[in-house]
């Protein structure tokens, strides 16, 4: 049993944070999170400098997940968008992410190419039979190793319940609604009760106002999906603008690590010491 499955089997909520590369993942692990999620928005922005509109290829995404997984001891949850095609593509993708070290995948039911549900006022989703088939394919490819998180991007609460039940029947371990589907805790609680599996909650929009206790009542996995991306972007925007204007480090609005602090965090001295043992 993987570490993530063990955590979920314990009945306690797995608290995760969205990351976009190995460095942000290392920071998340050092902060004490149970797991990380390689989010599509963050990885696309970091790797390509482009928006989350399914522009990231399978190979690019797997490469990032592989590097993140190698850098960490905690579980990695991979956002695989719509699975890169039909059921055959889903099976290939899940197998590749499994090899890359991911312990869970998030598979959504938008048409391809998808659009970030947090960024648009409506989404287009595939027929329920097609979505169910893709979840079955993910379940078969992942076996007992992979946790399958089925995300429904419908904004209709009633349809979300119908799809959630069907996805659980197809083998999904958790259901993930988008933040715009339900507008209050009662709606999320109702979804949880009707689908009979824990929810995967991405804490965005109005969900940021939920208490940890409320989240833990319904969520198997709770993820601050954009915290690292937006924090880093804000800090870079402020500091680099000030640096360009003042041409001096003296008045930077945001703090920064010293070189010594960063080298200690990244393990530079430990690496040098490890290298020296081969010369003894």
Domain count across the chain:
1
pLDDT computed for residue 117 by the predictor: 82
Write out the E strands in the chain. 14-19, 35-38, 76-79, 104-108, 147-152, 174-177, 199-202, 219-224
Average pLDDT over residues 3-31: 97
The dihedral over CA atoms of 264, 223, 39, 148, expressed in degrees to the nearest 10, equals 120
What CATH number is given to the structural domain containing 228?
3.20.20.60
Dump pLDDT digits (tens) for 187-230. Answer: 999 999 999 999 999 999 999 999 999 999 999 999 999 999 99
55 within a domain of the structure (yes/no) = yes
Distance CA 233, CA 220 (A): 29
Distance CA 14, CA 219 (A): 8
61 within a domain of the structure (yes/no) = yes
pTM of the predicted structure, to 2 decimals: 0.96
152 within a domain of the structure (yes/no) = yes
Average pLDDT over residues 145-157: 96
CA-based radius of gyration for the chain: 20
For the chain, the residue count is 280
248 within a domain of the structure (yes/no) = no
Q: Is the pLDDT of residue 40 over 80?
A: yes
pLDDT computed for residue 131 by the predictor: 98
Average pLDDT over residues 46-66: 96
pLDDT computed for residue 278 by the predictor: 85
271 within a domain of the structure (yes/no) = no
Question: Range of 128's domain?
Answer: 3-232
Residue 58 pLDDT grade (very low, low, confident, very high; cuts 50, 70, 90):
very high
Buried b (16+ CB within 10 A) or exposed e, 171-184: bbbbbbbbbbbbee
Residue with tokens 């609460």: 157
DSSP 150-164: EEE--S-HHHHHHHH
242 within a domain of the structure (yes/no) = no
Higher per-residue pLDDT: 132 or 275? 132
19 within a domain of the structure (yes/no) = yes
DSSP structural state of residue 120: S
Q: Is the pLDDT of residue 150 over 90?
A: yes
pLDDT computed for residue 34 by the predictor: 98
Count the neighbouring beta carbons within 10 Å of the beta carbon of residue 205.
12
DSSP structural state of residue 127: -
Residue 163 pLDDT grade (very low, low, confident, very high; cuts 50, 70, 90):
very high
Residues of the chain with pLDDT > 90: what percent?
91
pLDDT computed for residue 119 by the predictor: 79
216 within a domain of the structure (yes/no) = yes
């Amino acid at each position: 049993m993987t570490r993530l499955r063990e955590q979920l089997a314990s009945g306690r909520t797995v608290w995760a944070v969205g990351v976009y590369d190995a460095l942000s993942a290392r920071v998340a692990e050092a902060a004490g999170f149970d797991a990380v999620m390689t989010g599509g928005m963050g990885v696309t922005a970091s790797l390509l400098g482009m928006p989350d509109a399914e522009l990231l290829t399978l190979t690019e995404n797997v490469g990032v997940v592989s590097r993140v997984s190698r850098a960490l001891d905690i579980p990695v949850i991979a956002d695989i968008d719509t699975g890169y095609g039909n059921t055959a593509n889903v099976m290939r993708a899940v197998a590749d992410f499994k090899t890359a070290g991911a312990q869970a995948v998030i598979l959504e039911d938008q048409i391809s190419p998808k659009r970030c549900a947090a960024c648009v006022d409506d989404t287009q989703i595939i027929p329920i039979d097609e979505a169910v088939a893709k979840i079955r394919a993910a379940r078969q490819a992942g076996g007992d190793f992979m946790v399958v998180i089925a995300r429904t991007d419908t904004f209709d609460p009633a349809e979300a319940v119908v799809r959630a039940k069907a996805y659980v029947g197809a083998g999904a371990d958790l259901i993930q609604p988008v933040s715009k589907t339900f507008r209050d805790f009662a709606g999320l609680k109702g979804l949880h009760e009707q689908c009979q599996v824990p929810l995967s909650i991405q804490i965005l929009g109005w969900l940021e106002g939920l208490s940890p206790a409320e989240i833990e009542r319904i969520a198997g996995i709770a993820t601050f999906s954009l915290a690292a991306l937006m924090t880093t972007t804000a800090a870079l925007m402020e500091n680099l603008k000030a640096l360009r204007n003042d041409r001096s480090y003296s008045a930077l609005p945001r703090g920064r690590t010293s070189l010594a602090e960063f080298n200690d965090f990244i393990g530079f001295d430990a690496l040098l010491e490890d290298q020296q043992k081969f010369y003894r």
